[in-house]
Amino acid sequence: MSWEYFEYDISTECACGKGNVIRHILSESDDWGRSYSQYTGEKIDCPECRKKYYIRHVKREKSDRAFLVPNEINMPEVIEKKIFFFQNIDEEIISRVSHDDLKASINDMINNKYSTRVQLDSSRLIVNEFKWRYKRRSLNIIIPFLEKLVRNYNRYEWTFERVKEYKEKELLEIAENEKAIKEAIPKSFELNFPWL
Ligand SMILES: [Zn+2]
């Protein structure tokens, strides 16, 4: 199989209208006609605008807007939420169940004896996690596993409490950041590149 590469530039008018902003595109296509394009760089091709502006992108899941932002205005980049993903079941459980709830779940499991009869949401979450990952949900396996987790809880980096604290802080940061972006947009010049 072979790949073909094309490189080319597209351009759009700059803020003052006397020059351009140039975007460099790299495009690849294979024997089956599949192709991928991405931009690899942009530059302000106007002596006046180059002095006054910088380029900033507001990238979200389904959109990517480019702006010439005046140098004295701060337009931060979009902050994306951290996605917590854990390979191992111990890390996963510890990130989602507090230390107290873990202990309560152990008691719940001991008292109710069967995984189908547990009462607490945290117990169900743990049982489901075992079922989903290992197709097993015997409390004879789960209880000793949880007892070990309780003992080692603080050795884990992302405990439930730390994840919660991180997410709360992140929400505030994102709110601040979004406010700065929102304020900067009307003072900036949006670039209107033709579609790739
Ligand atoms: Zn210009």
How many A from CA of 49 to the centre of ligand 1?
4
Q: How would you label 132-169 residue by residue, b for 16+ Cβ within 10 Å and e otherwise?
A: eeeeebebeebeebbeebeeebeebeebbeebeeeeee
Q: Along the 196 residues of the chain, how does pLDDT read in single tens digits?
A: 678 888 999 999 999 999 999 999 999 988 888 888 899 999 999 999 999 999 999 999 889 999 999 999 999 999 999 999 999 999 999 999 999 999 999 999 999 999 999 999 999 999 999 999 999 999 999 999 999 999 999 899 999 999 999 999 999 999 999 999 999 999 999 999 987 5
Query: How far are the Cα atoms of 73, 87, 97, 173 from residue 176, in angstroms, in the given order?
Result: 15, 32, 29, 5
Distance 16 CA to ligand 1 centre (A): 4
20 alpha carbon – ligand 1 mean position (Å):
7
CA 178 / ligand 1 centre spacing (Å) = 27
pLDDT of residue 196: 54
Instruction: Determine the distance separating the centroid of ligand 1 and the alpha carbon of 25, expressed in angstroms.
Output: 21
Calculate how far, in angstroms, residue 18's C-alpha sits from the geometric centre of ligand 1.
5
Name the token pair of 141: 């396996």
Q: For residue 20, which phi and psi values (nearest 5 degrees)?
A: -135, 165
Q: Taking Cα atoms as reference points, which of 84, 116, 128, 120 lies closest to residue 102? A: 120
Query: CB within 5 A of ion ligand 1: which residues?
Result: 14, 16, 19, 46, 48-49
Measured in Å, residue 191 CA sits from the centre of ligand 1 at 12
d(CA 150, CA 143): 11
- Report how far ligand 1's centroid is from the alpha carbon of 107 (Å): 70
pTM, full prediction: 0.75
Report the length, in residues, of the chain.
196
Q: How far is the CA of 58 from the centre of ligand 1 (A)?
A: 21
For 32, which DSSP code? T
Joined tokens for residue 117: 């009869």
27 CA distance to ligand 1 middle (Å): 28
Structure tokens at 79: 């902050």
Question: At 53, which amino acid appears?
Answer: Y
